[in-house]
Chain A
């Protein structure tokens, strides 16, 4: 009977935890924000800094070609965006004024394709979409992340923040527990980063390829043994917005090299 009683007490305590809203979740102080770059080994940092050999530049090159290309459509991206798109990626995800939907860079590229170029949207992680995203993101290289989280973006910001703070998966972990509360500590053979998306699309050594931020988010969800959301899911876009706001002011590095 005593054992049963103590189990009941434990369950009671666990049950109480989500209700303790008086304890606000820890925030990352602005002075402590560190890019994932600072957690890399010097060799990997050198690969990212190599203006020729950074393998992500293969996709940037391809994206530059696609941006000028009129092979598929009568209107090339460059026909409208004559001055390039410097600084644009730093403001995404962004609310589309017409539809009111929150769009990430991939979504914005596909919106241009369907509405202005008469083309079909590109699939997530397709070579062409990665290349265009990398090319556009690279034009904001070194510029600080500055997303809008007021007005129509408030709801999405809150939704992304909620996803970040919610425990999930068989490991019952939230993003917050690793990337805000325990960054800098070791997890298996790796140092836990602060979980900023400022380098994406990034070349990950694990992937041996360039990949989008959503691919990385799916990996994190899989890592805590949760069911990952589908590519392009509204909640992931909201999470991207929260992540960008969380790293407000951090310089963009795409195409970064990550482990």
Chain B
């Protein structure tokens, strides 16, 4: 169960460019570290992030082992229609976490 924090404005004017922030709690274990007994700590990372809005994938990112723990993303969208903005993270094993926020365009 991962904590997720989203920053999405409640309202926007048509065609306004809005700032979106998405933060998720995840260890992002790189696979390069060793434990106190010298054993390799296995890699455990999120590999894909997608943001969907108005039926389209409007932003996506592939994550690599060098991304720090608890990754935060900031990106921009053009507000066109009122409705949900959906966020989804997928890890290397196919586990998924998702959340959504809604925006009103007036």
Q: Which residues of A contact B (CB under 8 A)?
A: 52-53, 55, 57-59, 61-62, 208-209
Min CB gap A13→B, angstroms: 39
The one of B5, B7, B23, B70 in contact with A208, judged by C-beta atoms closer than 8 angstroms, is B70
Q: Quick one: which of B3, B7, B69 contacts A59, CB cutoff 8 A?
A: B3
- Is B77 located at the chain interface by the 8 A CB criterion? no
Which residues of B line the A interface, CB within 8 A?
A: 3, 5, 7, 21, 23, 25, 27-28, 68-70, 72
CB-based contact B5/A58 at 8 Å:
yes
Which of B3, B27, B68, B70 counts the most A-chain CB atoms under 10 A from its CB? B3
A-B contact pairs, 12 of them (CB 8 A): A52-B7, A52-B23, A53-B21, A53-B72, A55-B25, A55-B70, A55-B72, A58-B23, A59-B3, A61-B3, A208-B28, A209-B69
> What DSSP secondary structure best describes chain B's contact surface?
loop
Tell whether, in the assembled complex, residue B3 and residue A208 are in contact, meaning their CB atoms are under 8 Å apart. no
Residue of B nearest to A131 (CB): B3
Q: B72 — nearest CB in chain A belongs to which residue?
A: A53
Using Cβ atoms and an 8 Å threshold, which residues of chain A touch B23? 52-53, 55, 58
With the chains together, A57 CA to B27 CA distance in Å?
Answer: 15
Q: Separation in Å of the A68 CB from the closest CB of chain B?
A: 15
| Beyond known contacts A55-B25, A209-B70: 5 more, CB 8 A cutoff | A53-B23, A55-B70, A58-B5, A61-B5, A208-B69
Shortest Cβ gap from B20 to chain A (Å): 11
For A62, what are the chain B residues with a Cβ–Cβ distance below 8 Å?
Answer: 3, 25
Distance in angstroms from B101 CB to nearest chain A CB is: 13
The answer to whether A58 touches B69, judged by C-beta atoms less than 8 angstroms apart, is no
* Cα–Cα, bound, A59→B5 (Å): 11
Would you give the shortest CB distance from A205 to chain B, in whole angstroms? 9
CB-defined contacts of B68 to chain A, threshold 8 Å: 208
Q: Specify which chain B residues have a CB less than 8 angstroms from the CB of A53 in the assembled complex.
A: 21, 23, 72
Q: How far is the CA of A62 from the CA of B25 in the complex (A)?
A: 10
Q: Give bound CA distance, A53 to B70, whole Å.
A: 10
Alpha-carbon distance between A201 and B59 when the two chains are bound, in angstroms: 34
